[in-house]
Amino acid sequence: MFRFLRYQFNLVLLAISFFTRLPVPFSLDYSPQKLHQAGRYFPLVGWLLAALLSAFYCFAIGYFGVAVSVCLLMILSLVLTGALHEDGLADTADGFWGGHTAARKLAIMKDSQIGTYGTCALICLLLTKFILLSTLAVNQQLLLALAIAYPLSRALAISHVQHLAYARQNNDASKSAALAQPMQPRVLLWLVICSLPGLLFLTLPSAIIILLNGCALRLALKHWFHKHIAGYTGDCLGFAQQAQELLIYLLLIATLPKVTNEHIFAQLF
């Protein structure tokens, strides 16, 4: 039993080291197979990030107000994750809209330089996220939103490995190659269990709306990825995570009680 728990704890630390910039022990037992197994703990990484960001927001709101606190929270999120998912979103936008063939799209996505499409996608993402998070904060729903969006968006994103092929032929050089294998049914069940507890704080209709729309977006992204590159890459998973996160924020704003626009403006400024 102790050996099993130690093995699982090692997988948790591998997931944290891969998906965040948080410090972990140097003595981790790493292998591509173990990194693949660590993917099951991707939602737990979301829970950890949500907890850290929530604690920071609770501290900052008393000193800086809503707008500044949300801005600082977004910056902290980028620091904690190394902008991993935002980088994937920008690379996917550059590749899908800047290339004409699947091979060219994959080459653009591999390029470390950012182009016009990626820049526009990042600007739209960050502005939209700031407005959505600020609205949720004014409605005193920010902490709940983080607890729902961070784990669930990550579970929906990594679930794409089940039904899409890894698009790169020479995947040895890719840091995401180890994740490019379908998960066993029991692992998928664990992924679902880890990602859903935040929905228990919602009414049943709100929870169902978020789940149905999240699954619909996942299906749409699956077909979109397959259309462009006949599969997925790590960048695509980053794009999917960010898209799902924004969708969850939007749906929470639409379904949860809200204050007037005048009150939002007054609270922000």
In the chain, domain spans: 2-12+39-268
pLDDT at 142: 97
What percent of the chain has pLDDT above 90?
Answer: 66
pLDDT at 81: 96
Query: 51 falls in which pLDDT band (50, 70, 90)?
Result: very high
pLDDT at 255: 92
Query: 185 falls in which pLDDT band (50, 70, 90)?
Result: confident
pTM over cut 0.85: yes
- Per the CB < 8 A criterion, the answer to whether 137 and 70 are in contact is yes
Q: How many CB atoms lie within 10 A of CB 91?
A: 27
